[in-house]
Structure 1
Amino acid sequence: MNKLFGMLLLLCFGLSAMAYDWKGQWISTERSQSQTNEWLAYRKTFTLSDVPAALTARIAADSKYWMWINDSLVVFEGGLKRGPAPGATYFDEVEIAPWLKPGQNTVAVLVWHFGKSGFSHASTGRAGLLFDAQSPAFSLVSDASWRCTLYTAYENTSAPHPNFRLPESNIRFDAQKEIKDWHLSSFKGNLPQALVLARAEAYPFGKLVARPIPLWKDYGLRGYEAIRKSANGDTLFCRLPYNCHVTPYLHVEAEAGKTIGMLTDNYEGGSEKNVRGEYVTRAGEQTYESLGWMNGHEVIYIIPDGVVVKDVKYRETGYNADFAGSFSSDDPFLNELWKRSARTLYVTMRDTYMDCPDRERAQWWGDEVNELGEAFYALDPRGQKLALKGIYELMNWQREDGVIFSPVPSVNWGRELPLQMLASVGYYGFYTQYFYSGDSTFVPVIYDRLHRYLHEVWQPEANGLVTERSGDWNWGDWGEHVDMGVLTNCWYYLALKAELNFAAMLGKEDDVRMLTGMMNSFVSCFNTKYWNGLAYRSPGYKGETDDRAQAMAVVSGLAAADKYPALLQVFKKEYHASPYMEKYVLEALFRMGEADFALSRMKDRYSKMMGYKDYTTLFEGWGIGADGFGGGTINHAWSGGPLTILSQLLCGIEPTSPGFKTFKIAPRMGSVGNASAKVSTHHGLIEVTITRKGKAMTIHAVVPPGTKAEIHFPNGKRFHVTAGSHLLKGLAF
């Protein structure tokens, strides 16, 4: 019965049922009070006569861990922020056989217990480690034979501390309390015996769910691009090549008891305090790396008197996917905008998609919908796994009343933003994830919960549209002149569109009939209620005409082509959308056949942001400070919509069947003369180069093995091609 219950839970988490007989136990030390920002050091020494050909270690921690085997750093920051579902914990799978040897072996693990929840982490309240590696010939599992101690050299800094949204704390390390070489096989000390806390999958750690995304990519220690000193020489400003996740490293000679501060130029990004580090010196020459990642364009070291700096470096880590996609054109502005969009996407990926890597590190789904779309055009297919993880988490945290909310995993937030939730489950969210990846495995797992949200939480009006709901935060976008009535019905229609496709896929014929009927009446009812002859406006809405609302009417398909001329005039006059919703305005213009104006508007809207030459990422608002929105971070990937637009619509690369098994190339070049793009799929790399000379257009397309493409020229001519390299000629208009 217990095994069956476990299998059902695994299915609820969206994972295949896998029977695993856990032998390891959660262990800690009796001195641990599981306080906030507590660090523990674990060791296990054992003897092997023969090294197994393969040995997978399953490792879980509350909250993060670093692992050495026989003096080699095998995992740099393992573990995921906790919460695949309420009461559950992720575990890593690490192949450790390559680091083992005949004779005596040593495994050492450093655990960082956050000790508090945040907008992306649900704490168990207990600091612990679980290690389980089993093979037919040898097993290594965590139990009372391991050694464990509190590592009291890790301390809390004084105030200010990171804001309440972050589960991470500042890290202070006092080298005078260092346990020298504790993680090395040469260590001669003796740590206390470990304390067994609980069996695997017992309270409070809960069900164990395999990590669904790769371990982080470790780029290694590197030197900074440039280093400058403050006028008095007490501060080093160390330039990074771009905005990224880093852990600062230093090599100094010092007197004992000197405190070195470490932070980035993004320390107060988004108007809130983020994370920083401190290092207290021992006497003599020493090195140190502050293990909690921070991000920015510069790392700042504050150096007191009595400290001589011999070297400073940084380690970049990040989501393990490559920038396999690309875009280039004869327009440098567009090239740089695509590049900054891709950098912003990457810096907002880690345990979850984030709104930003500083103020919150939280999985807001309005942001994630834009981000997951960008990932298909910027990254290799490993990047697709992060959105899939987010889908399961979003639906597993559904409230008892049927409401879904974000950010999750979270225990200090549970408020619904209705329009973000409609976006998440709808055509640009869940359906895009399925159609672009070709992976439908999540659909039967989440369908019933999605259906409940759309048809029990949301209620129809008598006229066939949907009743506007305020939820817990009735938010449509930053900025002014937000027409919530039109936006609500557009997002709901797109959610029905996704559900209809899922219902057909699952053979739910009753749902298909019901949804088809709803959507057929929805179109006429929508236009009757909201179209006034010049634009879409809600009855009673008093603000200026909302450009966002017009865009959503177009991209949802609720606005027919006969309305495009009037809508174009609205787009030429109204500029209210934040960068989050501007993506849909630009898409609407391209799909209306207005590529020239779309590019003109894109440049107009992004020119101020792009004018900040020292930044490699895009902002939450159109500017920073007083010109920003919602706190104004400088790294918000919801602003990266142009990345998708330029690859998908300007170069015209879109799937026509799931996973790009078939796709089209239908360029809409506007004022651009030449452009090229690459898109990485599970089948291989799609490559497109488009060249115009006068009325002539040449398209060079590389079609991956096992796929087919349809090439569209602007004059209507089409070619059907199979795998291989193709050079095709037609007319540009």
Structure 2
Amino acid sequence: MTPAASHSPWRGQWIWSEDIALTPPGPGLMLGAPDPARFDRRVLFRRSFDLADVPATAPFRITADSRYVLWVNGTEVSRGPVRHGPRGLTYDTGDAAAALRAGRNTVAVLARFYGHATPWWEPSPWTYTLGGGCLVAELQVADDEFIATGADWQCHDGDAWTPQQPRSGLFTQLPEILDARRLDPDWQRPDATAPAHGWAPVRVLAAHVVVGPGGDARPPSEPFGALTPRPLPAPARHDREPVTFRQAQPATAEGESDGLYATLAAAVTAVADAEPRPAGPPLGTEGPPVVLLADFGRVVHGRLRFAADAAEGALISGSLLELPTRAALDSANAFRYTARGHADTFETSDPVGGRYALLVLRGPGPVRLRSLTVREELRPRPDGPYFACSDDALNTIHRVALRTVDLCAHDAYVDCPTREQRAWTGDFVVSQSVDLVTNPDWSLARHHPRLAAQPRQDGLLRMVSAGDFAQDPVPTIPDWSLHWIRSVHHLYRYTGDRDLVAGLLATAEPVLRWFLPFQGPDGLLADVTGWVLIDWSPVQVAGTSAALNALWARGLADFAEMAEWLGDTGRARWARDLIAQVATGFEEFWDAGRGAYRDHRVDGTVREAVSEHTQAAAVCAGLVPKERYPAVRALLLDRAAMFTSSPMSHRGSDTGGPLATAPVSTRDAPDWDTGRLVVGAQPFFRYVVHDALALLGAADRIERLCGDWTALLAEGPTAFRECWEGGSSCHGWSATPGRDLLVHTLGVTPAEPGYTAVRIAPALGTLSWARGALPTPHGLVHVEVNGDRLHVEAPVPVVVDHPDATTTRHRPGTFDTTLRHP
């Protein structure tokens, strides 16, 4: 059997139950409208058929708005789709032959329509029939025989789940309330019994639009356009088990009528002082309610799963938490499971993250857990690349940086797995850069910038990609769009993919042009609207922000370099002319006596504050004349003068919770000694600082600066937190040592776009040796530096920049050479 091509016409039709979440057209509602009363609904679908023989292959395609899980004869074979924009929908493919059998077979799908925007899903525009829940699938079982969604399928509304709403505007995950008594545990199997009120015919959704042809129930359809294949590999699965448990009895016996989060808040207080003991279910209760706190020993992310022996009607409530505190519940997703009395197993519908599983078990009758795991589903990290050096602390920092990125790498790079799971437009530039030097699979590094390239009507990018904060009227962060341009520059340098980069430059130019109305006669941007963030540090941005101007100039420089590479000299010249204008105006920020650029100008007066953000961004943008390099380098290396402060240090689950205190965008005026102290960067902006130091000739100091991450290991030895103090317990933007120890210390970078040649410029600093392997489109590059000796294995030509500023060139292959020192 030859599998159907991914671009072949669909045989499956869009289907749903009669309970589609759209109201019909009416006065003032030409296309109808979303119906919130039918949001967060699940529908069970089935189609049985007979096979005389099992085919050698059985390819399938499937997708749904918003989520689906596909089983064949009770075996899960796929779930998805991946995160996507409101007018783009991807489908998943696979081979189900291993799950088929001769005789009776059943294809079953649990599909879910969120309706409410979540961090990983935003509603599509609606038509008469689509945009309120839909499923399409097809399974090829013979050369010309398909099991495809259509009128011959059956459905059953998933009333075992109680529809939920977002708890707050910041944390919009939907809690899960499941009454297993209303769900046959074998409903996906051929021999399943019918629900009490039976299976019903599906509703075929023939697409309709206001004008033009309509009525076809097969993709492509408005509002999704042409369905495209999943751009990412299937996730790697690893089951994680707890290492210790604590057990206690709650102070009061909460009942089912109590609020779920109130129950869990009381439970976490009750178990706080219990003594931990080694893991080893079964654990549970014979009578009174019991609280269990399972410690997985590390931050984990995936689907929390358990199997239990429980009487019918027993309740198991729970959540996965960053920390065992009441404040951690502010950002945690919770569930409540009502036992059916047999075959009681549960798996959270949506991925959750944290370190501690909090569970409340209560009767009637005994309730015991037979197993408790988190099934991690993270994008794969193939073997091959590595880093090692003579400093064990840096080896640990590098390893934890990679784990941090892995936990934040799903169907997009997310900010953190434990709280929001939003794909913030600026945050991901660090995770992407780490992947490009440590992971041979660049599919996510290539995909995320395209996912984020969904601008507003005015050209600026959204605050996040494909999620709740991508919707109006949520404002955006202007500088995050500029970090996105840097992510495109990464693709230019590492992949050398002209089509990919050219397509993204079509979005980059309007981003850069969005800032033009804010440019004054002096060439500088002033009073830029939106949330100018820069970093969680208190960088002063009111009025004319030096840091924002420098980031804009860096974005223009990146754009000019890429445009010229593509042969577009006109646009390259346009961008460089703007950089020259910024450079002229930027001189006003230079304070020769201070040996630094000041942070901002308000009402015509340059204020006193100084940050390493402004210095570093100015260097990376090419705004700093060479004669000032020594002064700027000295300022960036004077770590005693740096102070770090963040609004997150007064927030986060380790203190008052992420919903406490004033808005995080609030920035107080300086209350520090601005003549002596320098605002230091939080972990995120350190990627810019380290890039600047390399340009300033101080790459040999970067390995010592990466040692600052030792402070983060003290409180989170398995993942890096968001800020030096406070914030989420695992945040991808804090992982820059995973890149910098390879790029700046070992010194391996592309010498030409696409790694057609590799540049090696070791700057080991205090290290006696370092070695590693980095992925390229042509294979791994192996580099080892031991004292003055350099050993290289490369599939492409090599350019070696020696410490004495001389250069040698080498053919592809293996060679050894002596590094030249001044």
How high is the TM-score relative to the length of structure 1? 0.87
Q: Which secondary structure does the structure 2 equivalent of 1:502 belong to?
A: helix
Instruction: Report the Cα distance in structure 1 between the residues aligned to 2:387 and 2:328, rounded to whole angstroms.
Output: 29
Instruction: Report the Cα distance in structure 2 between the residues aligned to 1:118 and 1:492, rounded to whole angstroms.
Output: 31
1:218, CA displacement in angstroms? 4.2
Within 5 A, what are the aligned runs for 1:130-141?
130-133=136-139, 136-141=143-148
What amino acid sits opposite 1:555 in the alignment?
C
Q: Which residue of 1 aligns with 2:552?
A: 492
State whether structure 2 residue 26 is matched by structure 1 residue 26: no
What amino acid sits opposite 2:772 in the alignment?
A
Q: Which residue of 2 aligns with 1:47?
A: 50
Give the counterpart of 1:398 among 424, 439, 455: 455
Within 5 A, what are the aligned runs for 1:233-272?
234-240=290-296, 242-266=298-322, 272=330
Give the stretch that moved more between structures: 306-315 or 368-377: 306-315
Instruction: Report the Cα distance in structure 1 between the residues aligned to 2:701 and 2:444, rounded to whole angstroms.
Output: 34
- The answer as to whether partners of 1:243 and 1:343 remain within 8 angstroms in 2 is no
- The answer as to whether partners of 1:353 and 1:363 remain within 8 angstroms in 2 is yes
Give the stretch that moved more between structures: 471-480 or 204-213: 204-213
Q: Which residue of 1 aligns with 2:113?
A: 113
Within 5 A, what are the aligned runs for 1:4-403?
20-31=8-19, 33=21, 35-49=38-52, 54-75=57-78, 77-83=79-85, 86-124=86-124, 126-133=132-139, 136-156=143-163, 162-165=167-170, 168-189=173-194, 191-198=199-206, 199-201=217-219, 205-230=223-248, 231=274, 234-240=290-296, 242-266=298-322, 272-284=330-342, 286-305=344-363, 306-322=366-382, 324-381=384-441, 384-395=442-453, 397-403=454-460
> Structure 2 vs 1, CA of residues 702 and 235 (structure 1 numbering), >3 Å: closer, same or farther?
farther
> Structure 2 vs 1, CA of residues 176 and 19 (structure 1 numbering), >3 Å: closer, same or farther?
closer
Percentage of identical aligned residues:
22
Instruction: Report the Cα distance in structure 2 between the residues aligned to 1:468 and 1:137, rounded to whole angstroms.
Output: 64
> Structure 2 vs 1, CA of residues 729 and 318 (structure 1 numbering), >3 Å: closer, same or farther?
same
1:228, CA displacement in angstroms? 4.0
> Structure 2 vs 1, CA of residues 615 and 548 (structure 1 numbering), >3 Å: closer, same or farther?
same
1:292, CA displacement in angstroms? 2.2
What amino acid sits opposite 1:623 in the alignment?
E
Q: Deviations over 1:291-319 (max 9, x none)?
A: 32111123233222521223323311112
What amino acid sits opposite 1:219 in the alignment?
R
Instruction: Report the Cα distance in structure 2 between the residues aligned to 1:220 and 1:582, rounded to whole angstroms.
Output: 32
Structure 1 segments unaligned to the other structure (5+ residues): 1-16, 625-631
Instruction: Report the Cα distance in structure 1 between the residues aligned to 2:821 and 2:190, rounded to whole angstroms.
Output: 68
- The answer as to whether partners of 1:251 and 1:310 remain within 8 angstroms in 2 is yes
- The answer as to whether partners of 1:120 and 1:407 remain within 8 angstroms in 2 is no
> Structure 2 vs 1, CA of residues 357 and 311 (structure 1 numbering), >3 Å: closer, same or farther?
closer
> Structure 2 vs 1, CA of residues 421 and 31 (structure 1 numbering), >3 Å: closer, same or farther?
closer
Q: Which residue of 2 aligns with 1:672?
A: 767
Q: Deviations over 1:194-231 (max 9, x none)?
A: 22123234766521432443254242545433444344
State whether structure 2 residue 639 is matched by structure 1 residue 639: no
What amino acid sits opposite 2:204 in the alignment?
V
Give the stretch that moved more between structures: 261-270 or 682-691: 261-270
Within 5 A, what are the aligned runs for 1:562-711?
562-571=627-636, 572=638, 573=641, 574-595=678-699, 597-603=701-707, 605-612=708-715, 614-624=716-726, 632-692=727-787, 697-704=788-795, 707-711=796-800
How much is the aligned-residue C-alpha RMSD, in angstroms?
2.9
Instruction: Report the Cα distance in structure 1 between the residues aligned to 2:462 and 2:83, rounded to whole angstroms.
Output: 18
Within 5 A, what are the aligned runs for 1:377-526?
377-381=437-441, 384-395=442-453, 397-409=454-466, 410-411=470-471, 414-425=474-485, 428-455=486-513, 457-459=515-517, 461=519, 465-482=523-540, 485-520=545-580, 522-523=582-583, 525-526=584-585
- The answer as to whether partners of 2:111 and 2:135 remain within 8 angstroms in 1 is yes
1:145, CA displacement in angstroms? 0.6
1:646, CA displacement in angstroms? 0.8
Q: Which residue of 1 aligns with 2:281?
A: none
Q: Which residue of 2 aligns with 1:11?
A: none
Instruction: Report the Cα distance in structure 2 between the residues aligned to 1:285 and 1:473, rounded to whole angstroms.
Output: 51
- The answer as to whether partners of 1:329 and 1:674 remain within 8 angstroms in 2 is yes
Q: Which secondary structure does the structure 2 equivalent of 1:577 belong to?
A: coil
Q: Which secondary structure does the structure 2 equivalent of 1:611 belong to?
A: helix
1:103, CA displacement in angstroms? 4.1
1:498, CA displacement in angstroms? 2.2
Q: Which secondary structure does the structure 1 equivalent of 2:618 belong to?
A: helix
Instruction: Report the Cα distance in structure 2 between the residues aligned to 1:202 and 1:168, rounded to whole angstroms.
Output: 30
Instruction: Report the Cα distance in structure 1 between the residues aligned to 2:564 and 2:700, rounded to whole angstroms.
Output: 38
Give the counterpart of 2:818 among 726, 729, 733: 729
What amino acid sits opposite 1:702 in the alignment?
E
> Structure 2 vs 1, CA of residues 575 and 488 (structure 1 numbering), >3 Å: closer, same or farther?
closer
Q: Deviations over 1:611-652 (max 9, x none)?
A: 21x54111221112xxxxxxx111111111222111100010
> Structure 2 vs 1, CA of residues 461 and 652 (structure 1 numbering), >3 Å: closer, same or farther?
same
Instruction: Report the Cα distance in structure 1 between the residues aligned to 2:148 and 2:528, rounded to whole angstroms.
Output: 51
1:582, CA displacement in angstroms? 2.0
What amino acid sits opposite 1:640 in the alignment?
A
Q: Which secondary structure does the structure 1 equivalent of 2:722 belong to?
A: coil
- The answer as to whether partners of 2:554 and 2:617 remain within 8 angstroms in 1 is no
1:529, CA displacement in angstroms? 2.9
Q: Deviations over 1:468-514 (max 9, x none)?
A: 35222122221213356221221122222222233224433432333
Give the counterpart of 2:596 among 529, 535, 545: 535
Give the counterpart of 1:712 among 787, 801, 806: 801
How high is the TM-score relative to the length of structure 2? 0.78
1:457, CA displacement in angstroms? 4.5
Instruction: Report the Cα distance in structure 2 between the residues aligned to 1:167 and 1:422, rounded to whole angstroms.
Output: 27
Q: Which secondary structure does the structure 1 equivalent of 2:227 belong to?
A: strand
Structure 2 segments unaligned to the other structure (5+ residues): 22-34, 125-130, 207-216, 249-273, 276-283, 285-289, 642-677
Q: Which residue of 1 aligns with 2:278?
A: none
1:462, CA displacement in angstroms? 6.0
Q: Which secondary structure does the structure 1 equivalent of 2:616 belong to?
A: helix
